[in-house]
């Protein structure tokens, strides 16, 4: 069952869960991938509700998002799915089927999460290392693996609940 909500009502939960990780999901044709992210921001840009996510060019998710120009963020309940978040944050979808390993249904959302934000990419910008402070560059980019920033217009925001089997 899907219950649509206003994105403004979930910002607090999103920001509280983000440091522990949320799932960034991408798909193109029959290819699905998810990864754990801990960096993102939500706000209003160009008069639209936007989620901005950062994805390194070396990630499998990057190649899928470049083709699809869409993404979904699935937010687990606080304290849940810790092992799955850790696995999806340290393993590549090129090397393993994260959905099978984690017991997720293959879909654009993570079915074990109850909160989802669907976005269409309306702008993207690759990081310019020349504009980055040296201490950040040294800490996060010593291997020169920079991020693409994807600005996704929020198209749908909803809770899902498993329907009771009768």
**140 with 127: CB under 8 angstroms?**
no
| pLDDT one-digit tens code per residue, 15-71 | 999 999 999 999 999 899 999 999 999 999 999 999 999 999 999 999 999 999 999
Cα–Cα distance between 52 and 116 in angstroms, integer?
Answer: 15
Q: What is the pLDDT of residue 57?
A: 93
Residue 1's pLDDT band, with cuts at 50, 70 and 90, is confident
Cα–Cα distance between 103 and 93 in angstroms, integer?
Answer: 14
- pLDDT score of 138 more than 70: yes
DSSP run (H or E) holding 140 = helix 134-140
Q: What is the pLDDT of residue 7?
A: 85
Q: What is the pLDDT of residue 34?
A: 97
> Percentage of the chain surpassing pLDDT 90?
89
Of 151, 141, 119, 121, the closest CA to residue 57 belongs to 141
Class of domain 2-160: mainly beta
pTM of the predicted model as reported, rounded to 2 decimal places: 0.93
Q: What is the pLDDT of residue 102?
A: 97
Q: Which residues contact 5 (CB under 8 A, 6 or more apart)?
A: 157, 158, 159
Q: How far apart are the first and last CA of the chain?
A: 15
Of 85, 79, 8, 20, the closest CA to residue 49 belongs to 8
Indicate the domain borders of the chain: 2-160
Q: What is the pLDDT of residue 99?
A: 95
How does DSSP assign 118-131, residue by residue? EEEEEEEEE--GGG
Residue 164's pLDDT band, with cuts at 50, 70 and 90, is very low
- pLDDT score of 116 more than 70: yes
> Percentage of the chain surpassing pLDDT 70?
97
Q: Chain centroid to CA 141: how far? A: 20
**112 with 145: CB under 8 angstroms?**
no
């Amino acid at each position: 069952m899907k219950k649509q909500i206003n994105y403004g009502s979930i910002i607090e939960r999103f920001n509280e869960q983000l440091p522990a990780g949320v799932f960034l999901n991408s798909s193109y044709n029959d290819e699905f991938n998810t990864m754990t992210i801990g960096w993102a921001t939500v706000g209003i840009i160009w008069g639209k509700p936007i989620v901005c996510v950062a994805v390194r060019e070396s990630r499998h998710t990057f190649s899928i998002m470049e083709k699809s120009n869409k993404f979904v963020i699935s937010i687990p309940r606080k304290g849940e799915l810790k092992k799955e978040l850790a696995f999806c944050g340290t393993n590549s979808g090129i090397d393993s089927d994260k959905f099978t390993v984690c017991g997720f249904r293959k879909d654009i959302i993570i079915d074990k999460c109850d909160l989802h934000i669907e976005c269409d990419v309306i702008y993207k910008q690759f990081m310019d290392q020349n504009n980055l402070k040296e201490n950040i560059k040294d800490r996060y980019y010593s291997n020169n693996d920079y991020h693409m920033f994807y600005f996704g217009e929020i198209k749908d925001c909803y809770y899902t609940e498993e329907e009771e089997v009768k």
